[in-house]
Chains A and B, each alone.
Chain A
């Protein structure tokens, strides 16, 4: 039993250690940052790295860009995804499995395989360097997950309520909007979190389609977060913490739902 708890503790510790260590790096002075041997517990702390990043206009812009790109991607995905998922889960039509297969197949696409053609198309219609270039690409790659989750959630809802609404004269769309959407709110919310986390993590599309500080998200900005000649390790550590802590909080609050959402597909698989 002791061995078991030791194993579990070690596992948890390894999972969170890098975050704690990088947080430590972000609050110690430059001297201690470069100290050899490194100190396990911070001695001389400073807020200067945190001050650096929050005084940095480009970093704040990047944070804002990330929120906008991931936020709009999530909304677009949920809007179109929930409508399609409802039809797949509830309505009868030909080509249903074909449509679903087409959507889910995108989860297996190597993103890098389409960046050159997409770049060409996006430049032709003037989307390069706009949020939409990243949002459109992110949306397509988040849709498989969103649709998959929502189909699973919609299938679990009782059919009687919709049928009652239909008997009362509601159309399919009205039944969907007035009965299903409110009932499915927890499922939709879970799908929203997972879609948001995926879009928040995108690097390749943003790196390929966005070149200016006014549109680049944090994932592109942080790896290059630097002074002119050297990388400011303390500031980079602080920036990494800023970007991950909101996700960690989100995950801790909604862990039950996230776990059930993530495992639903694999276990039913």
Chain B
């Protein structure tokens, strides 16, 4: 805990203690604005979305209470189903590639060599791009007539029809672009984690006769676990929320959970209640993923001092 546990006196005694103390009063005043902003613009809308998801209606008129009917309709909606399946496929594929390749790169550049600063800087370039701008750039390269990747893929006989009009190819394209943008970043996080492992530990293991693979499994992986969990959680939740990439690179042809919600609550007013149900579904499932990491995998949250 952050504050020393005080024995509670009469009811409300701690209230007086907290707000009677000038330093603490200042502290509350200092965190209040951010707390209010976050409550009003993030938590309240979520509560509102939950409420809306239990009612019928349109964006302008809220209809009568319908219980879980919107959720039932949502699960039967084929756009939702394909959006959900696509989101899972995308998340698993891109995060797996990013973790494996990122780890390989981190292990490779975890030593001092000439031009290391340059490599670190180059790594940040894809990360700094706004996702929609990289999606736009890659869309140009996947384009059937002007696209260099499209040309090469056709020349090698990898694809037989335009990449941007095929669901499977679009999905592969999205995974490639996501991996391009995020693998370097993953490598950077893992590299930072690797550098906190003292070299003596490896020395000792080497003296004891452990080979490279044994050292990786017995030393690197366990010691890197906290870093990996943080990186994985952030990457999984990011991929799970994917919108920009599917919307722009996919040219609105490829459904994800987020594009389903966006379409339903903004474009097609007929599906507004189902869209709200899907919004709540994304929120709750993302929360469960985060809780899984924190509770089951024992990820440390450093809210404590």
Q: How far is the CB of B36 from chain A (nearest CB, A)?
A: 10
Instruction: Scan residues 176-209 of chain A and give those whose CB is less than 8 A from a CB of chain B.
Output: 197, 200-204, 208
Of the residues A87, A104, A208, contact of B266 by C-beta under 8 Å: A208
Chain A residues closer than 8 Å to B302, beta-carbon distance: 265, 268-269
The secondary-structure label for the interface of chain A is helix
A15 and B46 contact, CB distance less than 8 A: no
B124 proximal to A (CB < 8 A): yes
A103 and B300 contact, CB distance less than 8 A: no
Chain B residues closer than 8 Å to A94, beta-carbon distance: 3, 14, 18, 24
B42 and A106 contact, CB distance less than 8 A: yes
Q: How far is the CA of A79 from the CA of B304 in the complex (A)?
A: 24
B210 proximal to A (CB < 8 A): no
Chain B residues closer than 8 Å to A236, beta-carbon distance: 136, 140
What mask results when residues 48 to 77 of chain B are scored 1 for a CB within 8 Å of chain A, else 0?
110010000001000000000000000000
B180 and A14 contact, CB distance less than 8 A: yes
> How many A-B residue pairs lie within 8 Å, measured between CB atoms?
303
B151 and A38 contact, CB distance less than 8 A: yes
Q: How far is the CB of A106 from chain B (nearest CB, A)?
A: 5
Chain B residues closer than 8 Å to A223, beta-carbon distance: 132, 135-136, 248
Chain A residues closer than 8 Å to B280, beta-carbon distance: 113
Chain A residues closer than 8 Å to B136, beta-carbon distance: 222-223, 236, 240
A243 proximal to B (CB < 8 A): yes
Of the residues B122, B148, B244, contact of A204 by C-beta under 8 Å: B244
Q: How far is the CA of A115 from the CA of B43 in the complex (A)?
A: 12
Q: How far is the CA of A14 from the CA of B184 in the complex (A)?
A: 10
* Stretch binding the partner chain, chosen from B90-98, B214-222, B226-234: B226-234
Q: How far is the CB of A257 from chain B (nearest CB, A)?
A: 11
Q: How far is the CA of A52 from the CA of B59 in the complex (A)?
A: 39
B35 and A15 contact, CB distance less than 8 A: no
A240 and B59 contact, CB distance less than 8 A: no
A109 proximal to B (CB < 8 A): yes
A108 and B237 contact, CB distance less than 8 A: yes
Instruction: Scan residues 94-134 of chain A and give those whose CB is less than 8 A from a CB of chain B.
Output: 94, 96-97, 99-104, 106-121
A2 proximal to B (CB < 8 A): no
B-side interface residues, number (CB < 8 Å): 108
A101 and B109 contact, CB distance less than 8 A: no
A18 proximal to B (CB < 8 A): yes
Given the known inter-chain contacts A34-B146, A84-B34, A240-B136, please indicate yes or no for A101 contacting B131, CB distance below 8 A. Answer: no
Given the known inter-chain contacts A22-B140, A91-B23, A269-B226, please indicate yes or no for A99 contacting B31, CB distance below 8 A. Answer: yes
| Interface core residue of A197, A201, A248, A267 (most chain B CB under 10 Å) | A267
What mask results when residues 116 to 137 of chain B are scored 1 for a CB within 8 Å of chain A, else 0?
0111111111111111111111
B162 proximal to A (CB < 8 A): no
Given the known inter-chain contacts A80-B34, A236-B136, please indicate yes or no for A263 contacting B262, CB distance below 8 A. Answer: no
Q: How far is the CB of A232 from chain B (nearest CB, A)?
A: 11
Given the known inter-chain contacts A18-B180, A97-B304, A140-B41, please indicate yes or no for A86 contacting B30, CB distance below 8 A. Answer: yes
Given the known inter-chain contacts A136-B41, A143-B38, A255-B120, please indicate yes or no for A104 contacting B303, CB distance below 8 A. Answer: yes
Chain B residues closer than 8 Å to A112, beta-carbon distance: 241, 243, 257-258, 261-262, 279, 282
Q: How far is the CB of B66 from chain A (nearest CB, A)?
A: 16
A114 and B266 contact, CB distance less than 8 A: no
B28 and A93 contact, CB distance less than 8 A: yes
B188 proximal to A (CB < 8 A): yes
Given the known inter-chain contacts A8-B109, A18-B138, please indicate yes or no for A203 contacting B286, CB distance below 8 A. Answer: no
A216 proximal to B (CB < 8 A): no
Q: How far is the CA of A10 from the CA of B184 in the complex (A)?
A: 12
Chain A residues closer than 8 Å to B153, beta-carbon distance: none
B33 proximal to A (CB < 8 A): yes
Q: How far is the CA of A143 from the CA of B266 in the complex (A)?
A: 26
11 A-B residue pairs with Cβ-Cβ distance under 8 Å, sorted by A, are: A12-B122, A18-B126, A34-B145, A36-B145, A38-B151, A84-B33, A113-B282, A119-B266, A120-B59, A256-B117, A269-B227
